[in-house]
Structures are given as C-alpha cells and as structure tokens.
Amino acid sequence: EVGAVKQDLAELYQVWDQEVVALRREAEETKHAREEEVGAVKQRLDELWQARNHMVDTLRQERSRKLCETRQAREEELSAVKQEVKELRHARDQEVDALKREAGETRQARE
C-alpha cells in the first residue's frame, strides 16, 4: 500500500511538473504576444505622431504662404493708393496753377 501511495504521489508530481511547464510555456507565449502587441501599438502611435507633425508643418507652411500673399497684396494696394494720391496731388497742383494764371490774367485785364 505504501508503494501504491508513493506511485500515486510520483504520478501527481509528474502531472504537476507537466502542468507547471505548460503554464510557464503559456505565460511565455502570452508575454511574447503582448510584447508584439505593444510593439505594434507603439509603431502605430509613432506613425500617427509623424502624420500629425506632417499635418502641422503643412498647415504652418500654408498659413505662412497666405500671410505672405496677404502682405504682398496689401503692399501692392498701398503702392497703388500712394500712386493715386501722387497723381491727384499733381492734378490739384496743375489746377491751382491754372486758377492762379487765370486770376492773374483777370487782374491784368481789369487793370
């Protein structure tokens, strides 16, 4: 009977050892699978971060381009206004000169 108990214990220990080995293998496989999942998630996050950075750079470039175009348009508009003011002043000066000449001629005609 002692031999049978020893035999049963030996079988239990053998089964237990096999289960421990199987559980360790499963834990190692699970750990490896999780590491792969974590690696995939990290890679996807890196891709998304790079896409975000590219989008931010593109938006900054677009904003800068638009600001430059707006600035250039304002400078052109200001230049056109300055030219118009110059032309109006010149026309005014000519008209003033003509009026002065006319007034001078009128004075001379009265005298």
The secondary structure of residue 111, as a DSSP letter, is -
Convert the pLDDT of each residue in 80-93 to its tens digit: 999 999 999 999 99
pTM beyond 0.85: the answer is: no
Taking residue 69's Cβ as centre, other Cβ atoms within 10 Å add up to 10
Convert the pLDDT of each residue in 49-84 to its tens digit: 999 999 999 999 999 999 999 999 999 999 999 999
Q: How far apart are CA 76 and CA 85, in angstroms?
A: 14
Determine the distance from the C-alpha atom of residue 58 to the mean position of all C-alpha atoms in its chain, rounded to a whole number.
6
Convert the pLDDT of each residue in 4-60 to its tens digit: 999 999 999 999 999 999 999 999 999 999 999 999 999 999 999 999 999 999 999
Q: In percent, how much of the chain has pLDDT > 70?
A: 100
What are 88's two structure tokens? 């109006």
Determine the distance from the C-alpha atom of residue 53 to the mean position of all C-alpha atoms in its chain, rounded to a whole number.
5
Q: Is 1 helix (H, G, I), strand (E, B) or coil?
A: coil
Largest Cα span, the chain: 161
